[in-house]
Amino acid sequence: MIPQDVANTIVDPKAYAAWTPIEEAFGYLRREAPLEQAQPEGFDPFWVVTRQDDIRAVELQNELFHNGDRSTVVTTIEADKKVRALMGGSPHLVRSLVQMDNPDHGNYRRLTQGWFQPQNLRALEERIRVIARGFVDRMAAHGGRCDFAKDVAFLYPLHVIMEVLGVPEIDEPRMLKLTQELFGNADPELNRSAGQLQDVDQALLALQGTIADFIAYFNEMTEDRRAKPRQDVASIIANGMIEGKPLGHLEAMSYYIIVATAGHDTTSSTTASALWALAENPAQFRAVKDDLSLVKGLIEESIRWETPVKHFMRTATDDAELAGKKIAKGDWLFLSYPSGNRDEAVFDNPYAFDVTRSPNKHVAFGYGAHVCLGQHLARMEMRILWEELLPRLESVELDGQPRRMEASFVCGPKSVPVRFKMN
């Protein structure tokens, strides 16, 4: 078993906010116990998969390692019991692609997959560039100081994905708030009860409230798009057919929710983290500013560096062997993407931020059948932002200590104060 203090650290939202304890815990595990069981206090035991090869091996065998059989996010025994009681035995509050296995997973994924392919996204390039330029102008208007996370990085990917989905601009603050409540449920500054969460019941109530608000919103949207379909992703979900029938209600709502949350929070975290790293590494900033062909390298390195999705869980559907260990049917596995992205067997100098890193074989978008649906959109919108921002940004430095969210699932910086000069 993994030592208790390490087991407790890897599920502790405060450790992710402090970040060094997380780097240390996973560094230790990759060295000493790369695939071992952990049982943090209050949790069922689970295997912690820390090396990139093992993460890829699990993700490729998606009949042997299911998403949907147990919670896809690490959760306490008490919370799991309560969710199952609420959801008629299911361990999930929502049922998006992430909670599905085949045949549903393939069927639901195919519905929007083509839309998110590079050939289709190319048509959006010019529109996204206009949006990016607008945010660069807004940053310039801050007059040399801003909180890059709150003033730019949270808002630009939000605007892009809401246009793609079909949510009007006036509702963006609401979507941002609900997303932050969902992923920031453990963070006293972000959760729905403004820090007052005392126990599992309150935390669950807060989550249910957030999901109910999303559902109320997307119910209306479904009606609208059924009556008047448009060229947006909401119209595909509202009018989609799976094996000759409309999507199930929970499945449709969950589809909107995953696009409206994972579709910006991840890209926001990566963008905020990238500027934080550039501000701390002036030579890297200079290199990419002077040679915009390095923007692609900057993007891959910032995705590796931040790894905004910190874990997903899988469940063994049968007895299996992995890296010489015997996994039993029903066992739960914790895939640590940040650990895979610091794996010394894959990366030279993994703790250095290097925009010239090549190859950069990270697993931040996952792997296999569930690999991120929005990866091409995420890369494209970040590329366009940096292509527009870097030529105008003459210098940047930190203007105070950046702060990270308290969360162990989807998270990143919540504040990156900077001082800058722009032309």
Q: Which residues bind ligand HEM (CB under 6 A)?
A: 59, 97-98, 109, 258-259, 262-263, 266-267, 270, 303, 308-309, 312, 337, 364-368, 370-374, 377-378
Shortest CB 160 distance to ligand HEM, Å: 8
Which residue bears the tokens 């998969």? 49
CB burial string 153-183: b at 16+ within 10 A, e below: bbbbbbbbbbbbbbbeeeebeebbebbbbbb
Is the CB of 166 or the CB of 263 nearer to ligand HEM?
A: 263
Find the shortest distance in angstroms from Cβ 345 to ligand HEM.
20
Q: Where are the beta strands (DSSP E) in 140-188?
A: 145-147
As given in the structure block, the two tokens for residue 357 are 């890193």
First vs last C-alpha separation in the chain: 56
Residue number with CB closer to ligand HEM (96 or 222): 96
Q: What DSSP line would sit under 264-318, residue for residue?
A: HHHHHHHHHHHHHHHHH-HHHHHHHHH-GGGHHHHHHHHHHHH-SB-EEEEEESS
Of 104 and 213, the one with the shorter C-beta distance to ligand HEM is: 104
Q: Supply the minimum distance, in Å, between the C-beta of residue 78 and ligand HEM.
A: 26
Nearer to ligand HEM, 25 or 100 (CB): 100
Beta carbon nearer to ligand HEM, 97 or 234:
97
Nearest Cα residue to 271 out of 147, 139, 374, 154:
154
Beta bridge partners of 422: 393
Instruction: Kindly state the smallest distance separating residue 411's Cβ from ligand HEM, in Å.
Output: 11
Q: How far is the CB of 361 from ligand HEM (least distance, A)?
A: 14
Give whichever of 204 and 366 is closer to ligand HEM, judged by the CB atom: 366
C-alpha to C-alpha distance for 312 and 304, rounded to whole angstroms: 16
Least Å distance between CB 176 and ligand HEM? 15
CB 57 within 8 A of CB 320: no
- C-alpha–C-alpha distance, residues 312 and 334, integer Å: 6
Specify the residue, 98 or 272, whose C-beta has the smaller distance to ligand HEM: 98
Q: How far is the CB of 270 from ligand HEM (least distance, A)?
A: 4
